Amino acid sequence: GNPANDLVEIINQNRTAQKLERLNDNPGLGCMALQYVELCKGNCSGNSAVNCKPPTDDFTEVFAPNCGVELPTIGTITGHIVGCQSKYTEPSLAFANVLVKDKKSLSVLRNKSHSEVGVGLIGFHKGPFFWCVLFSNGGTNSSFVLEDRGEGLKQKKGCYSGSAFPCNAGHRSAMLFNYIITFSYLFISLLNQI
């Protein structure tokens, strides 16, 4: 039920189809991707582009502390792709229509120096839905490590890949709630007729 994880799988399928290595899904990097797009709210243009470039220092001074990423483990970010849309889009459509829509982003996706990936996504009330993919060349389990294995982190909104926490701003949870309400209404109506 986490669309950020689904997008990581789509990214890896695309890479392996090109005979490139699969990328390790890093939750610390994913959380930092979520922090990146949270900072960019209000900067979505009509063509799914995000006009926002946080200062490089924000990765170590803002994103990492907000996520609980241990500072000595912060590795090199080897690339990023950011996109937005007026409403939620399923991961496969977000991949093709929002994130990887030109040669530049396809080149970033297929860069051979990447070894890790993290995806963050968030939707804003009466605003656009943002996706961010961060890539790193860090070693598995040694870069972007979350303190206490991520258990101390409480992200209040949005989703990020590799997370053990439930996605609390994804489209599916809203759909589930609508289904529960609908079935409850039907059940009550049925009971009233008995």
Extents of the domains making up the chain: 3-192
pLDDT digit string, tens, across residues 3-47: 999 999 999 999 999 999 999 999 999 999 999 998 888 788 877
Tell me the CATH class for 3-192. alpha beta
pLDDT digit string, tens, across residues 133-147: 999 998 877 899 998
Q: What is the mean pLDDT of the chain?
A: 82
Q: In angstroms, rounded to a whole number, what is the distance separating the alpha carbons of residues 135 and 59?
A: 13
In the 3-class helix/strand/coil scheme, how is 148-193 assigned residue by residue? HHHCCCCCCCCEECCCCCCCCCCHHHHHHHHHHHHHHHHHHHHHHH
